Amino acid sequence: MDDETQRQLAELRDEIVAVARIRDAHKRRLYVLQEQTAQQGILAPAVLITECVDIGVAIRAADVQLAEFRRLVVRLEQAPPSVLTLPDRAPYLPVLDPTLVNGQLRELGGAIVRMGDAIADLHELDDLAREESREWRAAQRSTDRAFRIGGAVVLLLLTIAVVVLLIQVF
């Protein structure tokens, strides 16, 4: 292996390390955001979900770039001297695959629809709970009335019994 190939290999390995560090930083940030999203559940702000999707896209772009760099390293290591030269590359920029982005947007749209459905379910459950609460209160009022009426009837019967006893005694 000639000096130029070794230099290119060293540059590629340095870039692999740099991109891997960036990818790891994205992963750590994604884990933190996913934890926050999970803790907040359905009430998680859309900004958290959007940022999770954006970071996921950046991680996949870094994975694609790492795979390409590794393929180039293998080609350089296996190539005979002076056969392969690397093109000049721009510094790390995420490569956005439109199908990946569209898939992420579909996932985000699906998540938003599911959140809307969950909110509608919560409203429905709230309405049912309120209705059951109204029914329970109405039943409670009826029971209270029945006890009051029953108590009044018992008191009336006791009064009549006392009057009858008094009449019999005198």
The overall average pLDDT reported for the chain is 79
Separation CA 6–CA 4 (nearest Å): 5
Of the candidates 58, 150, 142, which has an alpha carbon nearest to the alpha carbon of residue 100? 58
pLDDT at 25: 94
Q: Look up the domain containing 20 and give its range.
A: 3-92
Q: In angstroms, rounded to a whole number, what is the distance separating the alpha carbons of residues 141 and 139?
A: 5
Q: Is-above-0.85 flag for pTM?
A: no
Of 68, 92, 116, which residue is a domain's last?
92
Residues 66 and 117 in one domain: no
Q: pLDDT above 90 covers what percent of the chain?
A: 10
Q: Are residues 49 and 107 in the same domain?
A: no
Eight-state DSSP code of residue 91: S
Single residue among 50, 75, 92 that ends a domain in this structure: 92
CB 57 within 8 Å of CB 94: yes
Number of residues written out for the chain: 170
Q: Which among 19, 28, 26 has a CA at the least distance from the CA of 93?
A: 19
Q: Are residues 124 and 87 in the same domain?
A: no
Tell me: do 27 and 54 sit in the same domain: yes
81 and 7 in a common domain: yes
For residues 129 and 55, state if they share a domain: no
* Same structural domain, 125 and 85: no
**Same domain for 156 and 88:** no
**Would you list the DSSP string of 107-132?**
HHHHHHHHHHHHHHHHHHHHHHHHHH
User: For residue range 52-86, what is the model confidence (pLDDT) as tens digits?
Assistant: 888 888 898 888 888 888 888 888 777 665 544 55
Least confident of 25-39, 50-64, 69-83, 152-166: 69-83
Same domain, 87 and 19: yes
79 plus 109 within the same structural domain: no
How many folded domains does the chain comprise?
2
Sequence letter at residue 52: C
How many Cβ atoms from other residues are within 10 Å of residue 122's Cβ? 11
Residue 66 to residues 25, 26, 114, Cα–Cα distance (Å)? 15, 14, 34
